[in-house]
Structure 1
Amino acid sequence: MLLFRDDFNKEKLWYAIPVLLVFIMVVFYSTAKYFEFDSDGNVLTFVNKGLFISNFINYREQRAEFPKEKLQRYRIQNYVVFSFLYVYVKSKSSHIKRVRFNISLLSSSKKRALKKSLEKVLKHNNEIS
């Protein structure tokens, strides 16, 4: 192994550790987002906020509010570490717009509740049209 060789320079290892930690922190900071969903009333509300320091500096907030009737479909994409919710909404000009939300920090039970709520809205929309 490379670590046990006599000519291995241990100083390189001491430089690599802080670089690796900084890289992990940057990746976690850029992807960790708080997700909030509300389907009460006639409006669907989705909110993504940064997990850290979002109370002081709220530059990472992503918000979408639209009437339930405009929801066309949704898709949840699960990757190894990350999960994304894609919501397809009909715009005023009858184009379908895709909005992406990071739902990586949601538990599996909350993801099931989100799916159930969105399916209920889609079922209601299909009955109307």
Structure 2
Amino acid sequence: MKLNNKKVKSLVKILNIILLTLLVGFALLYLNILSFTAIDELYVGILISPIAISMLFVGWQYYEFDTSGEGLTLNVKRVGIFSFLSSKDKRVDLPKYKLNSYEIKRGVLNDNLTLFINSKKESNVVKVKLQLSILSSEERNSITSELDKIIQQNQKQIKSKVA
């Protein structure tokens, strides 16, 4: 199954334009180039500017999830104005039989997906943490059902090898 969130790219462009115009507007208010008499511009700037700046730096992610074939492929790329500042692009490409378990933590805007992968290292399990932006409940359910299928197949193979 292939899954991606193409809607994030267009949504991020619109959101970034709105946030940048807010920041420019508050900068103009702060420098007294524009006047805003209804509400004190200092309080509005103090309240909304940090929120706007943090939204620009949140780092929206575009993901591609593919479980077709023998492997599990998950690409996570940052999109947005400041995406070039960090190298948070991740690519997980592994055989399905190495997947041990997973965990999804829901956030306000981002969901954190943690994959536990069997390895040949001393610890035997490697954690891979990924952030997925703006997951609908349908997308989250399809990802969890696919990962559950893979884990169930892995457990069946382990039981058949032991018996």
**Could you tell me the TM-score, scaled by structure 2's length?**
0.62
In structure 2, give the amino acid aligned to 1:38.
D
Structure 2: gaps (5+ residues):
1-39, 159-163
Among 39, 52, 64, which residue is 2:67 paired with? Answer: 39
Q: Report the Cα offset of residue 33 of structure 1.
A: 1.1
The corresponding residue for 1:124 is 153
Compared with structure 1, are the counterparts of its residues 57 and 123 closer, same or farther at alpha carbon in structure 2 (3 Å cutoff)? Answer: same
2:139 maps to which of 99, 106, 110: 110
Aligned twin of 2:57:
29
Cα distance, 1:29 vs structure 2: 3.2
RMSD across aligned positions (CA): 2.7
**Higher share in helix:** 2
Counterpart pick for 1:63 among 65, 84, 91: 91
Shift of 1:58: 8.0
The separation in 2 between residues aligned to 1:80 and 1:122, in whole angstroms, is 27
Paired amino acid for 2:70: N
8 A Cα contact 1:82 1:102, kept in partner = yes
Question: C-alpha displacement at 1:96, in angstroms?
Answer: 0.4
Correspondent of 1:91 among 96, 110, 119: 119
What is the CA deviation profile of residues 37-96 of structure 1, one whole-angstrom value per residue up to 9, with x for unaligned ones? Answer: 111111111111112259978833111111101000011111344321111001122620
Gaps of 5+ in 1: 1-9
Give the letter aligned to residue 65 of structure 1: D
Q: Distance in 2 between matches of 1:118 and 1:54?
A: 31
Counterpart code for 2:147: L
Give the 5 Å matches for 1:46-57.
46-52=74-80
Identity within the alignment, % = 25
Normalising to structure 1: TM-score of the pair? 0.76
* Residue 35 to residue 54, structure 1, CA distance change in 2 (3 Å): farther
Question: Are the aligned partners of 2:57 and 2:82 in contact in 1 as well (CA < 8 Å)?
Answer: no
Is the contact between residue 75 and residue 85 of structure 1 (CA under 8 Å) also seen in structure 2? yes
Q: Distance in 1 between matches of 2:87 and 2:147?
A: 27
Cα contact 2:56–2:81 (8 A) shared by 1: no
